[in-house]
């Protein structure tokens, strides 16, 4: 069935909750309101207030209690209303959830999925636009999943819920309503840590994740008209990372453009680039190129500034064209 990215989130939550009574959802406005983006709309009606509840406005409490609930046999899927508001919970995520397995010598685990809408381009300004993946991809013990399409949302969310360890599941706000795609009715799993070639190509490779995969595909399509053949690799999960897929595409085309919306310095693109430099340098025909958000604290509100910040299909196209000509 064709559906939006947002519907894929909601329908997967519904399907998983029907299948597994251990799953509970809570967060700010997720109950009666169905979430500020409607990702949980109708779920409280179907599953009741015990399984879908509004929580007090306190992110540290949301995540900290979800850790306890996960340890005691549930599968919490807490929502952070905007990824930008995850920071009060960083202590609980980084110091607790991510290292409980390690610090208990494998005797405790935290099977929890934190859903959070991220990303900009929606007039969200400094605090409703951020990409937060780099902060969390740095943390061993945590998994970071960033789907680009409705199909991947379903398979990756189901896998995340089934996973025995804490997963940060980042959904791009811009994708919620603008990205549509076919999603099978039946349940399926996409393993965490498996990238996917979303478009085959021979001249250069774009490596990306989350929403910028869609922008990269647009750019690739335009470039194809000019005779430039672009391969687009969607990492889908950045931790665990599909190193093999990265090296394979780098070796295949010999030119790599890494694209992310998050700001450049210390962004996850640095990790991807380093891997290629370490393992496939002599297969390259051009220096690795990174296209990312500028190094300013966050995305401004004024449309002129927001547009200047964003990594658009046009900017990707220009960077890819330049790299192809190298």
Partner 1 sequence: MAKAKGKAAAQKHRDGGLATEQLHEMYYHMAMARALDERCWVMNRGGQAPFVISGQGHEAAQVGAAMAFDPSQDFLCPYYRDLGVVLAFGVTAREVMCGLLARANDPSSGGRQMPSHWGHAGRRIITGSSPVATQILHAAGVALAARIRGEDTVAAAFFGEGSSNQGDFHEGLNFASVHRLPVVFVCENNGYAISVPLSKQMAISSVAARAAGYGIPGVEVDGLDPLAVYQATQAAVARARRGEGPTLLDVKVVRLTSHSSDDDQRSYRTAEDLAAERAQDPIPRFRAWMESQGIWDAQQEKSLAARIKGEVEDATEFALASPVPDAATLLDHVYAP
CB of 64 to partner 1, least distance (A): 10
274 binds, among partner 1, ligand TPP, none (CB under 5 to 8 A by kind): none
Alpha-carbon distance of 179 to 298, in angstroms, equals 24
123 binds, among partner 1, ligand TPP, none (CB under 5 to 8 A by kind): partner 1
CB of 173 to partner 1, least distance (A): 11
Provide the token pair at 205: 């490779």
Q: From the list 61, 264, 277, 284, which residue makes contact with partner 1 (rule: CB under 8 A)?
A: 61
C-alpha distance from residue 124 to each of 7, 136, 182, 206, 260 (Å): 21, 21, 28, 27, 18
Contact 272, 207 (CB under 8 A): yes
Catalytic residue list contains 172: no
| 105: alpha, beta or left? (left if phi > 0; alpha if psi -120 to 50) | left
List CB contacts of 111: < 8 A, sequence separation 6 or more: 70, 75, 163, 164, 165, 166
**Rule CB under 6 A: which residues touch ligand TPP?**
28, 57, 59, 81, 85, 88
Residues 117-146 that bind partner 1 (CB under 8 A): 123-128
- Give the three-class secondary structure for 192: coil
Phi and psi dihedrals of 9, rounded to 5? -60, -50
- Between 84 and 96, CB nearer to ligand TPP: 84
> Is the bond into 240 cis (omega within 30 degrees of 0)?
yes
Q: From the list 54, 162, 194, 196, which residue makes contact with partner 1 (rule: CB under 8 A)?
A: 54
- Between 88 and 254, CB nearer to ligand TPP: 88
- Which one of the spans 23-31, 170-178, 216-224, 272-280 is the region binding partner 1 (CB under 8 A)? 23-31
Q: Which residues bind partner 1 (CB under 8 A)?
A: 28-29, 31-33, 36, 54, 56-58, 60-61, 84-85, 87-88, 123-128, 294-297, 300-305, 307-309
Please list the active-site residues.
128
């Amino acid at each position: 069935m064709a559906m939006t990215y947002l519907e894929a989130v909601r329908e997967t939550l519904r399907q998983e909750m029907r299948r597994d009574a251990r799953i509970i959802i809570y967060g700010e406005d997720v109950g009666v309101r169905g979430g500020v983006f409607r990702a949980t709309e109708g779920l409280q009606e179907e599953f009741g207030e015990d399984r879908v509840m509004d929580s007090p406005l306190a992110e540290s409490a949301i995540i900290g209690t979800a850790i306890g609930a996960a340890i005691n046999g549930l599968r919490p899927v807490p929502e952070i209303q905007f990824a930008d508001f995850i920071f009060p919970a960083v202590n609980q995520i980084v110091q607790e959830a991510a290292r409980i397995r390690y610090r208990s010598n494998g005797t405790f685990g935290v099977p929890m999925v934190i859903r959070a809408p991220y990303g900009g381009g929606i007039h969200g300004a400094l605090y409703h636009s951020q990409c937060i993946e780099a902060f969390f991809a740095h943390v061993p013990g945590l998994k970071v999943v960033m789907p680009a399409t409705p199909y991947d949302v379903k398979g990756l969310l189901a896998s995340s819920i089934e996973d025995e360890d804490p997963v940060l599941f980042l959904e791009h706000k811009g994708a919620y309503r603008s990205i549509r795609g076919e999603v099978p009715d039946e349940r399926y799993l996409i393993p965490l840590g498996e990238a996917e070639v979303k478009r085959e190509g021979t001249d250069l490779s774009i490596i990306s994740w989350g929403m910028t995969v869609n922008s990269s595909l647009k750019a690739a399509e335009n470039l194809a008209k000019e005779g430039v053949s672009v391969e687009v690799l969607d990492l889908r999960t950045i931790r665990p990372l599909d190193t093999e897929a990265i090296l394979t595409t780098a070796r295949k085309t010999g030119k790599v453009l890494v694209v992310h919306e998050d700001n450049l310095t210390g962004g996850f693109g640095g990790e991807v680039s380093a891997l290629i430099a370490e393992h496939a340098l002599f297969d390259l025909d051009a220096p690795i190129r990174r296209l990312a958000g500028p190094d300013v604290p966050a995305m401004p509100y004024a449309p002129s500034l927001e547009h200047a910040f964003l990594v658009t299909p046009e900017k990707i196209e220009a960077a890819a064209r330049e790299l192809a000509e190298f």
